Amino acid sequence: MRIICPIKRVPDTAADKKIDATDNTVDRDGSEPVLNANDEWSIEEAMRIKERDGAEVIVLCMGPEAAQTTIRKALSYGLDGAIHVNDEGVAGSDAVGTARVLAAALADEEFDLIIMGNQSSDARTMLVPAMLAEFLDLPALTYAKKLDVADGTATVQREMPSGHQVVEAPLPAVVSVVEAINEPRYPSFKGIMAAKSKPVATPDLAALGVDAGEVGLGGAWTQVDEITPKPPKEAGEKVSDDGSGNLGAQAVAEFLTKQKLL
């Protein structure tokens, strides 16, 4: 079994974001970026399959040179190697550009499963898993809160607004996972040390045979016209309950009535 885990390097939600005013992209040097949280669950899921059935697990990341640290972090969980698409030409890619590059990076790879997060915390489009599946002409099992792989078939519980669907597809397949699927481990000291010597391939767009005009800011199918900070919201009225609960309850009901919400 060979498993691919696409991972993304994202700004830390808890840190200030800076926008590069010249091209409306996120300035990732403004804060120390991190491994996209949702990708920790896909890595954990891949590790569990590796430990149970034996598998080679490869990280796939499209990102700048600095993404090396994110890739090493991902490898420290016990994965086997990485493909880092590192080319200035990918900067500013939209979801379709990202999926196109990830697909190109896998064109000559053998694999049974692609396991990825259902969303990235910065772009949050939820588009890349289905788009990657489309480019690779593979079935996609998305929003999985449980994954089983046996006899050449992947079966997931696909989270619905209430309850779930059971969906299955033959391998190879793309699976995107939600937070409920597992509890990720912490990297071990041994894992952190081993990550340093895991092989990382660094193809550029030319090596992947991707036309630079189809990706990056220029090749994007969408365009950002402007980004403006939201004016900070002024905190509204705040009342203290007197301990009985009635005062607080009346105040909320009064507010809702005044706002025509009741």
Partner 1 sequence: MVDILVLVDHDGGTPKKISNQILTAARAVGGGEVHAALFGDKASEAAGKVGAYGATKAFVWEDEAAGAYATETQTAALVAALEASGAQAVLYSSDPFVTDVVARAAVRVGAGVVTDAVDLELDGDTLVATKPIFGGDMVSKCHVKGGRPQFIGVKANAFTAEESGGGAPEVAALDVTLDEKAKRAKVTDVVEASSGGRPEMTEAAIIVAGGRGLGDAEGFELVERLADALGAAVGASRAATDAGWYPHQHQIGQTGKTVSPQLYIGAGISGAIQHRAGMQTSQTIVVINKDAEAPIFSIADFGVVGDLYKILPPLIEEVGKRKL
Residue with nearest beta carbon to ligand AMP: 117
Within 13 A of 79's CA, how many CA atoms are on the CB side?
A: 31
Q: Is 128 in the site for ligand AMP (CB under 6 A)?
A: yes
Looking at the Cβ atoms of 160 and 206, the one nearer to partner 1 is 160
Q: Which of residues 41-60 bind ligand AMP (CB under 6 A)?
A: 60
Please tell me whether residue 165 adopts helix, strand or coil conformation.
strand
Q: Is 117 in the site for ligand AMP (CB under 6 A)?
A: yes
Q: Which of residues 175-194 bind ligand AMP (CB under 6 A)?
A: none
The gap between the terminal CA atoms of the chain, to the nearest Å, is 57
Q: Is 121 in the site for partner 1 (CB under 8 A)?
A: yes
Q: Is 120 in the site for ligand AMP (CB under 6 A)?
A: yes
Looking at the Cβ atoms of 49 and 60, the one nearer to ligand AMP is 60
4 near 114, Cβ under 8 Å? yes
Residue 63 binding result from ligand AMP, partner 1, none, given CB thresholds of 5 to 8 Å by partner type = ligand AMP
Please tell me whether residue 39 adopts helix, strand or coil conformation.
helix
CA–CA dist 50, 43 (Å, integer): 10
Residue 172 binding result from partner 1, ligand AMP, none, given CB thresholds of 5 to 8 Å by partner type = none
Token pair of 231, please? 């004016």
**Site track for partner 1 across 132-161, x = CB under 8 A:** -xxx-x-xxxxx-x---------x-xxxxx
**Site track for partner 1 across 23-62, x = CB under 8 A:** -x-x----------xx------------------------
114 near 174, Cβ under 8 Å? yes
Buried b (16+ CB within 10 A) or exposed e, 133-163: bebbebbbbbbbbbbebeeeebebbbbeeee
